């Protein structure tokens, strides 16, 4: 069964700092990869996804992620965070052809003014 690891559980950054959140998965076959964001008290929203093609994918709100197949990684990045990016970030993986979405444990990001 696939699993997803997010090593940073809590991240605190100042506004304008750069962000990189790690995500690693364990599955040897084809994967679909997702990053979701959950703002305080809200539902999960899709930030970006990777299915195939260019391993560098761009999402909403200036976020991007890079799929590195050899490292089984799909790290999320943003060059300059804002206070409004304070939220919980979830990496998720779906194995090729399946419909079960497996989530990582989430990373709580706090951006300070």
Partner 1 sequence: DTAVSQTPKYLVTQMGNDKSIKCEQNLGHDTMYWYKQDSKKFLKIMFSYNNKELIINETVPNRFSPKSPDKAHLNLHINSLELGDSAVYFCASEDRGGTDTQYFGPGTRLTVL
Report how far residue 66's alpha carbon sits from residue 53's, in angstroms, rounded to the nearest whole number.
Answer: 11
Q: How far is the CB of 29 from partner 1 (least distance, A)?
A: 16
Residues 78, 74: Cα–Cα separation, whole Å: 13
> Which listed range, 52-60, 62-70, 75-83, 88-96, lies at the site for partner 1 (CB under 8 A)?
88-96
Residue 89 tokens, joined: 């970030």
80 sits near partner 1 (criterion: CB under 8 A): no
Rounded-to-integer distance, Cα 7 and Cα 23, Å: 7
Q: Note whether 59 binds partner 1 by CB under 8 A.
A: no
Binding site for partner 1 (CB under 8 A): 32, 34, 36, 38, 42-46, 49, 51, 88, 90, 94, 99-103, 105-106, 108
């Amino acid at each position: 069964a696939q699993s997803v690891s997010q090593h940073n559980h809590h991240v605190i950054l100042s506004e304008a700092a750069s962000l990189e959140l790690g995500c690693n998965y364990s599955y040897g076959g084809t994967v679909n990869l997702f990053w979701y964001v959950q703002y305080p008290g809200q539902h999960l929203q899709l930030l970006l996804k990777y299915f195939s093609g260019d391993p560098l994918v761009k999402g909403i709100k200036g976020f991007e992620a890079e799929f590195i197949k050899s490292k089984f990684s799909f790290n999320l990045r943003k060059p300059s965070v804002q206070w409004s990016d304070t939220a919980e970030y979830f990496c998720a993986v779906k194995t090729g052809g399946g419909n079960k979405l497996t989530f990582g444990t989430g990373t709580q990001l706090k951006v300070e003014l």
